Homo-oligomer: A and B are copies of this chain.
Amino acid sequence: MSNESKHLVIIGGVAAGMKAAAKARRELPMMNITVVTDEQYISYASCGTPYFIGNIVKDSKKLLIREPPYFKNMHNIDVLTRHQATSIDTKSKQVKVKGIEKGRDIIFNYDKLIIATGAQPIIPPLPGISLGNIFTLRTVSDAFKIKSCVESGKIKNAVIVGGGLIGLEMAENLVLRGIKVTIVELLDQILPPLDKDMALIVQKYLEEKGVGIITSDGVKSFEGNGDSAVTKVITGKRQLLADMVILSIGIRPNTKLAQEAGIEIGTTRAIKVNERMETNIPDVYAIGDCAENIHLVTGKPVWIALGSTAAKMGRVAAINATGGADTFKGVLGTLIVKVFELNVGKVGLSEREAIKEGFKIESTIVPASDMSHYYPGAKDIIIKLIADVTTRKLLGAEIVGDGIVDKRIDIIATALTFGAMVDQVSKLDLAYAPPYAMVMDAILVAANVLNNKLTGKATGILPQKVAEKSDRGEDFILLDVRTDMEYKSGHIKGCQYIPLDKLASRTHELDGSKEIITYCRSGLRAVQAYRILKNAGFKNVKYMDGSILAWAYGLEK
């Protein structure tokens, strides 16, 4: 039997599944291809649903990229919606499928099987969880329900449980609909993939936008009214009014079907696949949110469910399932999220993750302009870079700002893919013209600062560490070296003040027996002050990376 006349069955009809179907068709024009999905809609843009709810994307048709007749007519792909795959027999190579409405069973014989069963939101079994107006957002059907609720006009207060990506996107889009939003997060920070110092910058920004943020507090129960709609969220420490709740505490891979068929599950609890997207069972592939990946920085299995990864895995599985050969080596945990006008991105390992992985790390925080400062519209971004002290290789980056973040994240994603050293990143020949970048792009500047730390040219300390020192009551000198006007406009509590241009002649005012930490606005003058003090013989000196621009803990006048 030639590949052409074989039967490819795909379970799952959203990002990974439909990508695999379309790619398989392009590879083999005559192959039989069947997609089964328990959902009503296929091939939709699930990442766009928050913007549909916020009415930034007004027409739901724009999210529903393709419908079954399109795939039948244009690609001769059979799509069965509202059909649940109930079991896989990997010996006889059959999938049993049950129609959700009609209830009849269908048996499909497959030559190749691709599992793309996705993931589902975690719903905690809390008292009151089944009250009305408590939603998760995963599918386009979920989005229709939430949008309809929002447009009922009855929603004044919403509580979002979970401060991850979906939670933040929903916060923005509900605020755009005139709803007062509070985010409740169990951890001590929002945006768990980021380090706390960078997450705190986002938190401050959201609070300025009127979003309530409660961290280190968990939801205990929900209370409702006579109509059985939610009215209150009870947390460990508070009671919050809520006409609507969005649960976004996380997702888990849909692996039950695979697991029952004897398909191996990985350490991340998602389906284990090799770089050809093959499971442990011959002719069975797994892709998308139900499958695990390799993290390209650690080389270890990781489960990071993203549409962009699903599409790539779908493509690779389709090529291999149709007789070709392709591989997908892994991911970097790259993420980007728009939070009102703030762009927040991360790639590779955070400082916390890198330390947990056993790396000896150095890091820096560098505020910079996203384009030439004199060009209209130039905006600030704050870059955190993390590197391995031993190899001087970059490990990860986190970037936050109203300036252009995604470009710099993608540059670092590309650099990490090729195991770039920090020094190599600082020399990249990036595109420069005033409307696009500074003459030394922000990311090159940040790499230079980090390289100075890696090579021992300067010793810095991150703002969060300074704040922790203060909290612990440690005795050290925090030295503000800005201009008089800057100092008076707001400085860190307890600092000593000597402007930079007077520092060389006033070093006698400093107690050399104490640790001295210099700071300015962005860190640049702090480094100069650091050098002046080192040159004057002070031994125990550091500068504060990012200084005031990265200081998220309040100032006094």
Contacts and interface: CB of A to CB of B under 8 A. Distances in A.
Given A315-B448, A415-B414, A417-B424, A431 B334 contact: yes
A15 interface: yes
A212 B143 CA distance: 51
Interface stretch (A198-206, A368-376, A459-467, A515-523): A368-376
A47 B528 CA distance: 28
A319 to B, nearest CB: 10
A391 to B, nearest CB: 15
Contact of A440 (B312, B336, B411): B312
A24 to B, nearest CB: 12
A477 interface: no
A440 B48 contact: no
Interface string A410-435: 11011101101000100111111111
Contacts of A440: 308, 311-312
Contacts of A434: 45, 47-48, 51, 57
A510 interface: no
Contact of A62 (B306, B374, B414): B374
A433 B338 contact: yes
Q: Is the interface of A mostly helix, strand, loop or mixed?
A: mixed
A57 B376 contact: yes
A22 to B, nearest CB: 10
User: What copy number does this chain have within its complex?
Assistant: 2
Contacts of A329: 427
A404 to B, nearest CB: 8
A321 interface: no
Nearest to A165: B433
Interface in A322-344: 328-338, 343
B331 A429 contact: yes
Interface string A423-463: 01001111111111101110010001000000000000000
A155 interface: no
Nearest to A304: B429
A29 interface: yes
A238 interface: no
Contacts of A372: 45, 47-48
Nearest to A30: B535
Nearest to A536: B29
Given A15-B439, A338-B433, A434-B45, A428 B413 contact: yes
Contacts of A330: 429
A37 interface: no
Given A73-B501, A428-B413, A527-B26, A437 B51 contact: no
A166 to B, nearest CB: 11
Contact of A336 (B48, B375, B433, B439): B433
A138 to B, nearest CB: 16
A536 to B, nearest CB: 9
Given A407-B406, A439-B308, A448-B315, A26 B528 contact: yes
Interface string A495-536: 000001100000000000000000000000001100110010
A509 to B, nearest CB: 19
Interface string A97-127: 0000000000000000000000000000000
Contacts of A528: 26
Given A169-B433, A336-B432, A336-B436, 12 more contacts: A26-B527, A47-B433, A47-B439, A48-B434, A51-B435, A56-B375, A57-B434, A74-B501, A308-B441, A338-B436, A407-B410, A411-B411
18 contacts: A29-B531, A29-B532, A45-B372, A45-B374, A47-B432, A47-B439, A48-B434, A56-B375, A169-B433, A307-B432, A308-B437, A332-B429, A336-B431, A345-B431, A406-B407, A407-B407, A413-B428, A418-B418
Interface of A: 15, 26, 29-30, 45, 47-48, 51, 56-57, 62-63, 73-74, 169, 296, 306-312, 315, 328-338, 343, 345, 347, 372-376, 404, 406-407, 409-411, 413-415, 417-418, 420, 424, 427-437, 439-441, 444, 448, 500-501, 527-528, 531-532, 535
